[in-house]
Amino acid sequence: MKKSILFFIAFSTFCIAQNNTMYTDQINTLLNNWHKDAADANFKNYFNALTDDSIFIGTDATENWNKTQFEAFAKPYFDKGKAWNFTSLQRNIYFSNDSSMAWFDELLSTQMKICRGSGVVIKTENGWKIKHYVLSMTIPNDNTDEVVKIKAPIEDNILNTLKK
């Protein structure tokens, strides 16, 4: 009986690991294609990679959009034939216990130099989709004071509004 239980646990662990390896490949493909679709200005494919209730948080403090708002913001960039060009330099992917959801973080090469993306993807009937994405600029710790001085005049107003 103990051997059967141990075999079942080992087999289940093996199956989950196999699925997560396959899902990791699928999620990497999703995210790599998503970034490529922005570079190629493929509006339809770019936004089809997002769930209908997705959230995109950009680098500016005011950029917290649902899918419809993000589409409205991005459409003029895509209409010009090129939106933005992000290439993943490094990516980590983690899975929920049932492998129906994953979260990730990635370092990106961008026109803003290195940025960090992080998000949540969910498994749907149509494959993996992005449910939540956060884009952040990285700031070297030694330069934080300089960056704060630059952004303070803009963000002080935002802080005052949000505190009210």
Distance CA 122, CA 115 (A): 23
Distance CA 95, CA 139 (A): 28
Q: Is the pTM of this model over 0.85?
A: yes
3-state secondary structure of 71: helix
Residue 100 has φ and ψ, to the nearest 5°, of: -95, -10
Instruction: Choose among 159, 14, 20: nearest CA to 102.
Output: 20
Q: Which of 16-30, 38-52, 64-78, 138-152 has the lowest mean pLDDT?
A: 16-30
For residue range 54-69, list pLDDT tens digits in order.
999 999 999 999 999 9
Full set of structural domains in the chain with CATH: 2-163 (3.10.450.50)
Spell 71-94 as b/e; 16+ CB within 10 A means b: beebeeebeeeebbebeeeebebe
Distances (CA, A) of 38 to 84, 111, 132: 6, 13, 17
For residue range 27-58, list pLDDT tens digits in order.
999 999 999 999 999 999 999 999 999 999 99
Whose structure tokens read 């999620």? Answer: 27
Phi-psi region of 127 (alpha: psi -120 to 50; beta: other; left: phi over 0): left
Q: Which of 17-31, 82-96, 121-135 has the lowest mean pLDDT?
A: 17-31
